Structure 1
């Protein structure tokens, strides 16, 4: 045996789904929610799961609580791994309420964030203001992700409203529209009070929305991720994933876990 030969797994075992693409990806994106990881834990996350993470959201309003050097270092590390970084939409909602949106955008840019989330999960935004925020973020050079839905427990998806909102957001320059499920995935949007998916509503959304690849589904629970992958395929965009679940979600995407074993593509073009 040649000791110089690189050891590697057979391609079919690395990705039985035969679907995963390298970054940057436009589909099959995974967005992680960071709720306060320390520098060492953050580096550990990137060293193991960096290739499988596309976006990191610094959840809700956590960004101003960090020492500035630490926050800048985390953002720079994420970007060095090809991962987009953005503050949670709740922080922009606070900036809107306090009438300091220009200062918010300038600070986000100076800190090194390369994306922004525009949402109205807590406040109410009229359509004109939402349009203006999406466009202003784009003018600053940010990638823009918007979010549809309220954070209040019991909030449901209005199919017509979702379609109108998403289509308008995309026209204004949003890269993708995220469907709200909070960090719990319980009792909000697509998921009921037990965290179960309202599958009929999911099918209605997929049928009605012509550009489903530009939707991102917040799905913090493993069962929710598995169902969306089985229903929509390994290229579905998933968000609000816990950092500790980034690695295991990738196994779900590739069919390397029993929950999504059916994603295997039994193909013949590899040499056995």
Structure 2
């Protein structure tokens, strides 16, 4: 790997393996060869690789993908919907055993579609945390669901207390649900409420749109945790974090 240049002043970044400043990408079903090529270029900037929804259950290249991710110090993570389906069918233990056997270091626990109550979700997080790093997602995928700062703050605190390493705020791949209005604007009161109870280092904000990413970087700095990033955009996001794009140009230190 070539040594990067150092003639510009850019924000400092946490080094891998990171607990803060995560780039969490959403894989919708990429071939193994594409994953390897993408990580050759941007692997140093990717921390969590989520196999979206239930794609891990179907992916014929799953074992090879997980091996590539390990080579680049990227945590492979199941999608929360897959666990919700397993819970709905009474197959949580077989699901967790399968995820452990195939080599997932992380699982996502969510309650976005199934009729999971708070107590059910807590049990899932506690069970998963015995074997995995847990990312617990808060918020519903239903655009009609009510979004309030108090409810999201309470959900975030409960998931962290149950054993989640990171709390993921729902935004979907569209950036128009949960943390965002139907027009894609950030619900600032919800962001403030979640950060107020779990801290910015524990919150992973699903933010698929560039303007959403820029807003969060301006608000919390280069080491804010950002999720649902398209795999091919990891390098572009890193440039946004470091003020190397117009959207964050004036948000970085300037050499005297």
Shorter-chain TM-score bucket reads over 0.9
Gaps of 5+ in 2: none
Aligned length: 256
- Asked if the contact 1:17–1:253 (Cα under 8 Å) also holds between the matched residues in 2, the reply is no
- Distance in 2, matches of 1:203 and 1:131, equals 23
Correspondent of 2:90 among 99, 105, 108: 99
Q: Does 1:88 align with 2:83?
A: no
Gaps of 5+ in 1: 1-5
Correspondent of 1:108 among 67, 91, 99: 99
Moved more, 29-38 or 130-139: 130-139
Shift of 1:106: 0.6
Alignment match, 1:181: 171
- Asked if the contact 1:30–1:238 (Cα under 8 Å) also holds between the matched residues in 2, the reply is yes
Correspondent of 2:51 among 51, 58, 67: 58
Secondary structure at the residue paired with 1:86?
A: strand
Alignment match, 1:45: 38
Moved more, 163-172 or 57-66: 163-172
Alignment match, 2:253: 265
Alignment match, 2:23: 30
User: Per-residue displacement from partner, 1:46-79 (whole Å, max 9, x unpaired)?
Assistant: 1111000000000001111122xx1011011112
User: Rg bigger for which structure?
Assistant: 1
Alignment match, 1:76: 67
Shift of 1:235: 1.1
Q: Does 1:244 align with 2:236?
A: no
Correspondent of 1:161 among 112, 137, 151: 151
- Distance in 1, matches of 2:97 and 2:3, equals 46
- Distance in 2, matches of 1:214 and 1:17, equals 24
- Asked if the contact 1:17–1:263 (Cα under 8 Å) also holds between the matched residues in 2, the reply is no
- Asked if the contact 1:234–1:263 (Cα under 8 Å) also holds between the matched residues in 2, the reply is no
TM-score normalised according to structure 2 size: 0.94
